[in-house]
Amino acid sequence: MTEHRGLDLVALQKFLSDSNVPLNGELRADLISGGKSNLTYAIHDDSSRWVLRRPPTAGLTPSAHDVAREFRITSALQGTDVPVAATVALCEDDSVMGASFTVVEHVTGQVIRTKSDLDALSDADIDSCTDELVRVLGALHNVDYDAVGLGELGRPDGYVARQVKLWASQWARVKTSDSADVDRLHAALAESIPQQSESSIVHGDYRIDNTILAPGDVSTVAAVVDWELSTLGDPLTDVALMCVYRHPALDLVLGEPAAWTSPRLPSADDLAQRYTVASGRELVHWNFYLALANFKLAVIAEGINHRYRAGATVGDGFDKAGDAVPEFIAAGLRALKGQTV
C-alpha cells in the first residue's frame, strides 16, 4: 500500500470492513487535487471507488474543517432534489487515523475549475449549465430542513447580523494594515441589516467548481460538494455570494484563472434574475446582500494575504490575494449606494 500524508490505508481497510462496507481486494488511494482546505482522496479496491475527506494534518481550525458536519448534511439530503454523493461511513474516532474522516461513494463526472476547462463547452452548454446550477441552489433553499433532520444544524434567526459581526472581527484578526474603506463598509452594513424574511440550508461556498457535473452532460449536476461551511441561515447570502464570485478579483483569491469569473458566463445580475425565476424567491434588500458578500470575500482575501506574509502558505498562487481586498471593498461600497432599508 502506498503511503499518503494523513491517510493510513491499513487502518482504513480495517475500519471499512468493521463497518460492514463490502471490500474486494487491497485498498489504493490517490490524492485529489484542487482543495485548499480538507484533504480529499480517491479510494478504490478491485471493484468499487469512494472518496475520503479528512482535515489537514496541521493548522486545524475545526469550524472550517468539520467533515463530520459535512457528512451529516449530505446524509440528510439523500433523496431530496439536491444531488449529493451517497454517504458510506463516518469515523469520529481520532485513534483510527489521527482525525475524523468521512467516506462517500465516488461520483463519476467532470469538474469545471478553470477558464481553460470551459473551452470544450459551447455557449449553449454554458447557458444550460448555468440554469442547472441556479436551479439546484434554489432546490437546496427549498428543502424543509426540519423534515430532513437538520433543524439543529444552526441558528437561522439573527444569521445576517452575526455574519456582519463575524467578518468584522475576522478582519481585525487578519488585517495587515488599517483601511478606512473597510471600516466604512462595515459601519454601513451594521447600520442597514435587514429583517431576515426566511431561513434555509445555505451551502456557504456555491459556484461551478463546487459541483460535479454529469459525464458528457453539463446541464446536469451529479453532485454538490464541499459542504463544510453549510449551516442554517438566510438563503439570499448564498445567492449573493454566488453572484459576487463572478468578480474578476476572485482569480487573485484562488490563485488561478477561475472558470466562474469567465466573461463567457452570465453576469451577476443575470444570475440573480435566473435564481428569482427558478426559486420564486424575491431578492429583497439585494444591495445589502451583495455588499455583505463583497465584505466577506475581502476578509477572506486578506486572511490569505496574512498567512502568505507570515510564510504560512504552501504552494503557489497566494502572493496576489491582498490585491483583491480593495477590489471587493470598493464593489461592496458601490453596492450599498442608493440602498433603501
Q: Could you tell me the residue ranges of all domains in the chain? A: 9-105, 115-337
Please give the pLDDT value at position 32. Answer: 84
Q: How confident is the model over 239-264, as a mean pLDDT?
A: 96
Please give the pLDDT value at position 62. Answer: 47
Q: Do domains 9-105 and 115-337 have the same CATH topology?
A: no
**Residue 3 banded pLDDT, cuts 50, 70, 90:** low
pTM: 0.91
Give the single-character DSSP code of 98. S
What mean pLDDT value characterizes the chain? 92
Place of cell 463490502: 22
Please give the pLDDT value at position 267. Answer: 96
Q: Decide which of 3.90.180.10, 3.90.1200.10, 3.60.70.12, 3.40.50.10490 is the CATH code for 115-337.
A: 3.90.1200.10
Structural class in CATH, domain 9-105? alpha beta
Nearest to 37 by CA among 228, 319, 169: 228
The answer to which of 9-18, 240-249, 304-313 has the lowest mean pLDDT is 304-313
Q: Are 171 and 182 in contact (CB under 8 A)?
A: yes
Residue 80 reports pLDDT greater than 80: yes
Please give the pLDDT value at position 33. Answer: 56
For residue range 40-63, list pLDDT tens digits in order: 899 999 999 999 998 877 654 445
Please give the pLDDT value at position 314. Answer: 63
Q: How confident is the model over 150-157, as a mean pLDDT?
A: 94
Count CB neighbours of 332 within 10 A: 27
Strand-pair partners of 211: 224
Q: Are 85 and 104 in contact (CB under 8 A)?
A: yes
Residue 198 reports pLDDT greater than 70: yes
Q: Are 260 and 208 in contact (CB under 8 A)?
A: yes
Q: How confident is the model over 28-39, as a mean pLDDT?
A: 73
